[in-house]
Amino acid sequence: MYTILDIETTGGKYNEEGITEIAIHKFDGHQVVDTFISLVNPEKDIQPFVVKLTGINNKMLRTAPKFHEVAKRIVEITEDTVIVAHNAQFDYRILRTEFKRLGYNFERKTLCTVDLSKTLLPDAESYSLGKLVRSLGIAVSDRHRANGDALATIKLFKLLLTKDTDKSIIKSVIRKETHGELSENQLDIIQELPSETGVYYMHNKDGDILFLGHTKNIKKRVNDHFIKRGDRARKLQKETKKVTFEKTGSELISLLKEHEELLKNKPRYNNKVKPKLYSHALYKGYTKEGYITLNASHINGNRENITTFNSIHGAKNFIYKINEEFCLCDKLNGLSEAKTNCSKFNEEKCKGACVQKETVEEYNKRVAQVIEKYSLANKSVIIVDKGREIGEYSAILIKEGTFIGLGYYDLNHQINNIAILESIITPMKSGKNAIHIIESYLRKKRVVKIIDLNT
């Protein structure tokens, strides 16, 4: 016996969402034998984007029953059944959290139609409910309302049952307690974790670090570890007795701390850290006329590079980007296979350096702007980013292209005085790998500001 359900929530911070609507259909494998559908008063405001998505607003829920008033009905209709949902991990977590607030331990086995679809419908372009059912010709109405989505999931589940001719797939994906349902100890651990950026540490009974990682949401990431499947994941789940964390505020700080601490601690369940995180680099050269060229190649001994990459593909994509951004020449930078000088060029993209139409000085000035923007080589700077709390900032110190360390400050004079700054900085030894991490991050994301110590 199955109960196929869908839940709509208020949105908001992880594990702080409230239920606004629930639809449950008891399904015997052939037909629906019982149904429960209700709006629910979450006793908190709905996020505006959720109102727009679902059409459910705060006014509609004022007279709706609160969760404790429908809890008994939910227990009764789901008893001795397997819960089926599209992204069952989400719906089951929401239900478990609501029941936990009432002091009740709600436990059911679950089936996820996303997981089933990936196995039984491997050629689907998308596994989101709306796109998947449309691709299968399944009619769906009241999308993003609990009952509309639940009815669509019933039709999808019927199709999946038909496709699973030997039933072995369905049996294998039923989530037993160690696969998807958190133990009381794991739920208690999750409850104490923040939904913030930082580094987390999973410990065994002796306090040894089994695994550490960086994340933008500590609570969600650890929860993912606890519900992940596979032999290695289950061993980590079984051995983890405690999780500690360090908030960093800045995602870049969390990346640097993760790398440094992996080298020091070598946790059993982390992958081995590579001696070099990068394999390719951008190098500067010159044509016989004096134009600067920027070319990507494999790391070349101790030759000084502009910036590093973990693949040739990433390096060449970067050259395409800077050529577009700074109107540089594809041929000079190794992206054009032409054997002779270009006879035609797009003046918006390339101003004619490859045919000496543009002066060496004009062209090289723009190349210098690229290097200034994207390379930390020989620079002395402070990278300022978010702190762990309001009014605090993080600081990453780089001297003459070498990563020195990182720290936090809340007063301007702490970074304006280099002696004070160095006293609050935690020294680190990640070297060139740290510079690679920082430059890679700055190519894609923004920080609060970068202070040049030479000006």
Average pLDDT, the chain: 86
Q: Are 261 and 240 spatial neighbours (Cβ–Cβ below 8 Å)?
A: no
Give the single-character DSSP code of 183.
Answer: P
Greatest mean pLDDT among 93-107, 131-145, 182-196: 93-107
Question: What is the rounded CA–CA span in Å between residue 37 and residue 122?
Answer: 32
In degrees, rounded to 5, the angle at the alpha carbon of residue 84 between the alpha carbons of residues 80 and 86 is: 165
Of the two residues 418 and 84, the one the predictor is more confident about is 84
pLDDT of 305 higher than 50 = yes
Q: Could you tell me the pTM of the whole model?
A: 0.62
% of the chain beyond a pLDDT of 90: 48
Residue pLDDT, tens place only, 101-116:
999 889 888 888 888 8
Q: Given a cut of 90, is residue 269 above it in pLDDT?
A: yes
Extract the runs of DSSP E, i.e. beta strands, from 77-156.
82-85, 109-112
Q: Which residues contact 263 (CB under 8 A, 6 or more apart)?
A: 273, 430
Buried b (16+ CB within 10 A) or exposed e, 120-159: bbeeeeebebeebbeeeebebeeebbbbbbbbbbbbbbbb
- 243 DSSP β-pair partners: 202
CB 359 within 8 A of CB 343: no
pLDDT surpassing 90 at residue 309: yes
Q: What is the pLDDT of residues 375-386, one digit of tens each?
A: 999 999 999 999
Residue 1 has pLDDT above 80, yes or no: yes
Mean pLDDT value across residues 392-412: 92
Place 203 in a pLDDT band, splitting at 50, 70 and 90. very high
Cα angle at 66 between 64 and 67, to 5 degrees?
130
**Is the pLDDT score of 343 beyond 60?**
no
CA dist., res. 118 & res. 126, Å (int) = 9
pLDDT of residue 164: 67
Report whether 299 contacts 280 (CB < 8 A). yes
Question: Region 285-300: what's the mean pLDDT?
Answer: 91
